[in-house]
Amino acid sequence: MRRVVAAPADPGLAELAPDQRLRRLELTVTRRLNGLLHGQYRGLLPGPGSEPAGSREYRPGEDEVRRMDWAVTARTAVPHVRQVDADRELTTWLLVDASASMEFGTAELDKRELAVAAVAAIGFLTAGVGNRLGAQVLRADGVRRFPARSGRTHLLGLLRALLAAPRGTGSAEGPGPSVGVSVPVGPPELADGLDALHRVANRRGLVVVVSDFLDGLPDDPDEPPPWERTLRRLSVRHQVLGIEVTDPRELELPDVGLITLVDPETGRRREVCTSDRRLRERYAAAAAAQRDQVQQALRRSGATHLALRTDRDWSADIVRHVHAQRRLAAAPAGVVRGGVA
């Protein structure tokens, strides 16, 4: 009798070494998503450029007189011309939530690794000649800032930093400051990260916020969350995409008896008996209302909403989202575009 030896299972993304994970993410993006966002730079017109980028001295025979910067010329008594950035180049700014609440996960990926996958997709899709990518990462020990730069090396460095971000519950007393990191008292909030992003994203482009958007979410559904106002200000100048990361256990509880729930932000514990059907129903209803609250806040802010779950194929969800946005962009003006987040 012949023995059938089962082939070893392909390791999941979470089981791979960091460099192997990055390679797997890059292959997934380039094979399944590459080319979907090309040509979708809304409001960035081709041409020599119109975004101010400073001034430099006038070069006779090379510069046009109509580009003279007369204000700087008058101050310095030396002829200067205005410099502009080419509108066809895209600058993408990322705000990535790597706080304690993003460490939860009951599927192949936890929420933080799903956030890394989303960042990889955005980074590889928007990569191109002259395109730049900058990021601010909200970590338990403060805000890690990455200036806007171009190139694959810069993107891979950002992804490695996200995978290596320290894990652990935030405390009321922040650690001492370190070089290149601004550390507030306690873990940084999403609203603070958006305010900082608004100050540095001075050139119109694409702004992507990757979070579970639970930070500061009020109990009253009619009250706006603290991050909505700044997100609305960003939407005035930029194309804003809000990527909401969730886990199935945040939406419903299984019937597994007595369990202990831990708040990842504060460390508080509570025992819950999941055998109670009415408790599970109340939990699911409250979770659905919370997700609807986030969706409405993103919509009021003028941001596009993309929901990713740790138990689903994130690349397929991104493909569906991009195709839906393409249909919206191709729809005639004046047509009612409802039903698409």
Torsion of CA 162, 146, 127, 327, to 10 degrees: 80
Q: Give the closest residue to 61 by CA, choosing from 83, 86, 81.
A: 81
User: What does the DSSP assignment read for 29-92?
Assistant: HHHHTTTSSTT--TT---SS--EEEEEEE--TTTS-GGGB-HHHHHHHSS-EEEEEE-TTS-EE
Place of tokens 């200067």: 80
Q: List pLDDT tens digits, range 144-172.
A: 899 999 888 899 889 888 888 777 644 33
Per-residue pLDDT of the chain (341 residues; tens, 9 = 90+): 455 444 445 566 666 666 777 777 777 776 666 655 444 444 333 344 555 567 788 877 667 777 788 888 888 888 888 876 555 578 899 999 988 888 888 888 889 999 999 999 888 888 777 789 999 998 877 888 999 998 888 998 898 888 887 776 443 333 333 223 333 345 678 998 999 999 998 888 899 999 999 888 888 888 999 999 999 999 988 989 999 999 999 898 888 888 888 777 777 888 888 888 899 999 999 999 999 999 999 999 999 999 999 999 888 898 888 778 777 766 554 444 444 33
Q: Can you give the length of the chain in residues?
A: 341
Structural domains of the chain sorted by starting position, each given as residue range(s) with its CATH number in brackets: 55-84 (no CATH), 89-328 (3.40.50.410)
Angle at 146 between CA 265 and CA 307, to 5 degrees: 55
Neighbours of 30 (CB within 10 A): 13
Count CB-CB contacts under 10 A for residue 75: 10
Does residue 144 contact residue 159 with C-beta atoms inside 8 Å? Answer: no
Paired with 273 in beta bridges are 258
Closest CA to 214 of 189, 192, 234, 197: 189
Element (H, E) at 260: strand 258-262
User: Which pair of structure tokens corresponds to residue 325?
Assistant: 């946005």
From 159, 94, 87, 95, select the one nearest 130 (Cα to Cα). 87
Select from 236, 169, 233 the least CA-distant residue to 196.
233
Per-residue pLDDT tens digits for 17-47 = 667 777 777 777 766 666 554 444 443 333 4
pTM, whole model, 2 decimals? 0.74
Return the bridge partners of 96, or none. Answer: 137, 210
